[in-house]
Amino acid sequence: MNHNKLYTYKGGPRSIGILAVAHAIKFDIEVVETNPQVGLSEEYLKLNKLGKTPTFVGSDGTVLTECMAIALHVASQDPESRMLGPTHMDFIHIVSWMSLCNTDVVKRMAAWIMPLLGVAPYSPEGVEMAKKQTAQVIQILEDHLQDRRYLVADCLTLADPFCAGLVSFGFANVFDKEWRAHFPYFTTWYEMVTSLEMYRAVIPNTVMAETALGPPKPSMRSDFTVDD
Ligand SMILES: N[C@@H](CCC(=O)N[C@@H](CS)C(=O)NCC(=O)O)C(=O)O
């Protein structure tokens, strides 16, 4: 029998929300360890022509790339679940938050973090600029979460684990204690989502940086192949 499969790597920020929702609605997905940084098979490149992760292959042969599409597909497997929001407009807002986090938030965070990890060219000005731009986009979430527990409606939806998974990369590397003090509502929301059973089933221990990554050592510089 064919299983649903998700090709991704351990802790991949774009896959956490997908796997958390699958767990919540008891939709079985086998994770196939696939890491573009380690190398990809010819077979995988036929599924995902850009050589990115995640990729979903359903038990019925459905192939999906793009984490948002995969997450929405998985969440819709249980029509009783409210993961896609109680109303149609809530659903639209869920997609809106997912898109903001998967594009502007991830890109700005990556421009801050990747040079510090030595996997993108480093310049102090570039990192400083990316740090400011990250703060600007996270401020949108901070303002929104000031009087809300969840991103959309008055209940947990796909937007919460999906967006928390995406920003986990920031919390683990650069959103340190001092940074978090400027974004208390956003941080409280993140702590709430990452402590949910559905999230912990995927990431049992969430890492919060005590101090942000510093400039890379010369020995960390590589041949810069990673996008974000
Ligand atoms: N548009 C794709 C982007 C996927 C993506 O960039 N994934 C990253 C991992 S989170 C990747 O595969 N990076 C490897 C590379 O760019 O070489 C999506 O939203 O799923």
Q: For residue 79, what pLDDT is reported?
A: 87
CA 67–ligand 1 middle distance (angstroms): 9
Q: What span, in angstroms and rounded, lies between the C-alpha atoms of 88 and 197?
A: 26
Q: What is the CB-side half-sphere exposure of residue 209 using CA atoms within 13 A?
A: 19
Q: Which pLDDT belongs to residue 222? A: 61
Distance CA 181, CA 178 (A): 5
Do 96 and 188 lie in one domain? The reply is: yes
Using 50, 70 and 90 to split pLDDT, how confident is the model at 228? low
- Quick one: pLDDT at residue 218? 79
Mean pLDDT of 25-38: 97
Using alpha carbons, list the distances in angstroms from residue 20 to 37, 74, 87, 147. Answer: 24, 10, 22, 25
What is the whole-number distance in angstroms between the Cα of residue 146 and the centre of ligand 1?
A: 31
Under a CB-based contact definition with an 8 Å cutoff, are residues 151 and 144 in contact?
yes
Quick one: which atom of ligand 1 is closest to the CA of 54?
20
Distance from Cα 144 to the centre of ligand 1, integer Å: 27
Q: For the segment 136-174, what is each residue's pLDDT rounded down to a tens digit?
A: 999 999 999 999 999 999 999 999 999 999 999 999 999
**Do 112 and 53 have their domain in common?**
no
Domain membership flag for residue 35:
yes
- 67 CA closest ligand 1 atom index: 20
Statement to judge: residues 94 and 196 lie in one domain: yes
Domain that holds residue 11: 5-75
CB 173 within 8 A of CB 212: yes
Q: Residue 120: which CATH number?
A: 1.20.1050.10
Three-class SS state of 102: helix
Judge if 104 and 189 occupy the same domain: yes
Q: Report yes or no on 228 lying in a domain.
A: no
Same domain as 164, residue 128:
yes
Q: Which pLDDT does position 1 carry in this prediction?
A: 67
